[in-house]
């Protein structure tokens, strides 16, 4: 919403003046609030929904950079989260060529380094560690405008979201996800469709009795040689995650999704997921996982990302994007939540410094500037690598195309080494070929 449109809004209420306001109670917003609380800094999270979503049909894999960031947010946090999920011991890669399976490639993981956990459990844990009054529900952020020494943040609030509340703050954080309203006002660029549709669900499978196609600590990745169909099955504590991904270069699948985006439990989604496997050999195990899953827990949606930005701040450093709002990337490399935790960790350290000057304008501007210097170069490279891993040439950045198998392997190894070395060499790895 523009400043002019905000001018015309009939404001029902003025909230208190706050040092830090976070729009969005997803993983990025809650992790930041917790990291700040741990450093004795007040921040309030404004979430548009009246309560947290009952389910998101997703589990997240948290690797070494995510674990380090969680420990930086609050010591002991990664082990609390790991208890709600499970550690990954091995990843099994199955490649299918004309219905025949290549011998599986198995990567054994270092012990206790990779956690697989239900997305919702992570959200609940972060929220439970925050003081009671830190999360404000039913507040939908709609716009901001500069105001002396900070910005005014506008929210629709109340049960019917029919009242307008204005809150003045020194720093507004846009942690409102890939469809970010904060980013819409700041940049106005839309999310990008990556020509893939996902069906995914979390199956309650505590003793691995409901579905036995997976063992404890396992992740199974299965792909057709042409990558038209790709799947991930993972053990995540009491749950089994399955994801079925289908390429959609014609965009016919996307155009047939309800509301143009899809959603959770849409009637017919189970049959549509199974239809993607019609005529394919070697997919019985995934068919079985889909069969035993209740349709109302299946998510069906387009895969999107965001193009990298040169700037994540606005209003002279009083507004800043983090998480998916700043750098949503293709989910393939599984770095969205991990990098949201990195953002929360790094920003809390910089704001801790600013708190020593009582959040003077200059100290906030410095913190925001330094945050962008540290994080934007890293996220640009990670977003590019993620776009490269779509294997769709139209999304692959220049310099990442036409690589030989050896070059691809080298790039993958360099990527893991660099990303996992967080918080060291955040911006780049000067010793690498692809991430300098």
Ligand X SMILES: Cc1cc2nc3c(=O)[nH]c(=O)nc-3n(C[C@H](O)[C@H](O)[C@H](O)COP(=O)(O)OP(=O)(O)OC[C@H]3O[C@@H](n4cnc5c(N)ncnc54)[C@H](O)[C@@H]3O)c2cc1C
For ligand X, the binding residues (CB under 6 A) are 23-29, 46-49, 58, 60-61, 119, 140-141, 175-177, 181, 198, 200, 243, 323-325, 331, 334-338, 340
Closest to ligand X by CB, 46 vs 434, is: 46
Bridge partners of 244, per DSSP, are 199, 231
What is the rounded CA–CA span in Å between residue 103 and residue 216?
21
Closest to ligand X by CB, 181 vs 355, is: 181
Minimum separation from the CB atom of position 363 to ligand X (A):
25
Minimum separation from the CB atom of position 341 to ligand X (A):
8
Closest to ligand X by CB, 25 vs 363, is: 25
Q: Name the token pair of 188.
A: 């106005």
- CB 235 within 8 Å of CB 170: no
Minimum separation from the CB atom of position 58 to ligand X (A):
4
- CB 151 within 8 Å of CB 272: no
Question: To which H or E segment does residue 70 belong?
Answer: helix 64-73
Minimum separation from the CB atom of position 361 to ligand X (A):
25
Minimum separation from the CB atom of position 200 to ligand X (A):
5
Closest to ligand X by CB, 59 vs 364, is: 59
Closest to ligand X by CB, 23 vs 84, is: 23
Minimum separation from the CB atom of position 227 to ligand X (A):
17
- CB 205 within 8 Å of CB 166: no
Strands 313-314 and 150-157: unpaired
What is the rounded CA–CA span in Å between residue 65 and residue 436?
18
Q: Tell me the DSSP string of 335-354.
A: -HHHHHHHHHHHHHHHHHHH
Q: Name the token pair of 230.
A: 């790709």
Closest to ligand X by CB, 126 vs 363, is: 126
Closest to ligand X by CB, 296 vs 407, is: 296
- CB 247 within 8 Å of CB 196: yes
**Residue 250, Cβ density class (10 Å: 0-12 exposed, 13-18 middle, ≥19 buried):** exposed
Minimum separation from the CB atom of position 152 to ligand X (A):
15
Closest to ligand X by CB, 187 vs 403, is: 187
What is the rounded CA–CA span in Å between residue 364 and residue 175?
18
Q: What one-character DSSP code corresponds to residue 149?
A: T
For the chain, state the CA radius of gyration. Answer: 22
What is the rounded CA–CA span in Å between residue 260 and residue 254?
7
Q: Name the token pair of 194.
A: 């990556």
Minimum separation from the CB atom of position 392 to ligand X (A):
18
Q: What one-character DSSP code corresponds to residue 210?
A: S
Please work out, in degrees rounded to the nearest 5, the angle formed at the alpha carbon of residue 306 by the alpha carbons of 24 and 412: 115
Closest to ligand X by CB, 141 vs 395, is: 141
Minimum separation from the CB atom of position 357 to ligand X (A):
28
């Amino acid at each position: 919403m523009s400043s002019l449109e905000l001018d015309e809004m009939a404001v029902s209420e003025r909230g208190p003046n706050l040092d830090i306001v976070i729009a969005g109670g997803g993983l990025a917003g809650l992790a930041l609030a917790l990291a700040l609380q741990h450093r004795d800094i007040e921040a309030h999270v404004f979430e548009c929904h009246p309560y947290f979503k009952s389910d998101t049909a997703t589990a997240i894999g948290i690797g070494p950079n995510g674990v380090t960031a969680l420990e930086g947010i609050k010591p002991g946090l990664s082990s609390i989260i790991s208890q709600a999920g499970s550690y990954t011991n091995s990843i099994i890669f199955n490649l299918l060529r004309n219905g025949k399976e290549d011998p599986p490639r198995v990567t054994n993981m270092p012990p206790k380094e990779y956690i697989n956990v239900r997305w919702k459990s992570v959200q609940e844990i972060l929220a439970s560690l925050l003081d009671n009054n830190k999360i404000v529900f039913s507040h939908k952020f709609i716009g901001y405008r500069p105001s002396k020494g900070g910005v005014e943040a506008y929210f629709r609030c109340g049960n019917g979201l029919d009242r307008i509340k204005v809150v003045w703050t020194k720093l507004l954080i846009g942690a409102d996800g890939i469809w970010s309203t904060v980013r819409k006002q700041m940049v106005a660029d839309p999310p990008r469709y990556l020509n893939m549709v996902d069906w995914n669900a979390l199956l309650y499978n505590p003793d691995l009795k409901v579905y036995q196609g997976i063992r404890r600590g396992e992740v199974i990745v299965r792909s057709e040689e042409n990558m038209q169909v790709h799947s991930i099955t993972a053990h995540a504590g009491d749950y089994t995650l399955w994801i079925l991904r289908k390429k959609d270069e014609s965009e016919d699948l996307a155009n047939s999704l309800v509301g143009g985006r899809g959603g959770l439990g849409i009637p017919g989604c189970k049959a549509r997921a199974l239809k993607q496997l019609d005529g394919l050999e070697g997919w019985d195990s995934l068919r079985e996982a889909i069969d035993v899953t209740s349709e109302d827990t299946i998510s069906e949606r387009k895969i999107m990302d965001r193009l990298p930005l040169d700037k994540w701040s606005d209003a002279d450093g009083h507004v800043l994007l983090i998480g998916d709002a700043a750098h949503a990337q293709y989910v393939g490399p599984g770095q969205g939540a991990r990098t949201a935790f990195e953002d929360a960790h790094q920003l809390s350290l910089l704001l801790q410094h600013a708190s020593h000057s009582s959040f003077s304008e200059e100290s906030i501007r410095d913190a925001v500037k330094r945050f962008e210097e540290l994080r934007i170069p890293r996220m640009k490279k990670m977003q590019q690598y993620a776009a490269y891993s779509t294997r769709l040439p139209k999304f692959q950045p220049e310099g990442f195309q036409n690589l030989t198998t050896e070059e691809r392997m080298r790039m993958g190894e360099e990527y893991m080494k660099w990303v996992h070395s967080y918080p060291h060499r955040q911006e780049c790895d000067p010793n690498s070929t692809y991430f300098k």
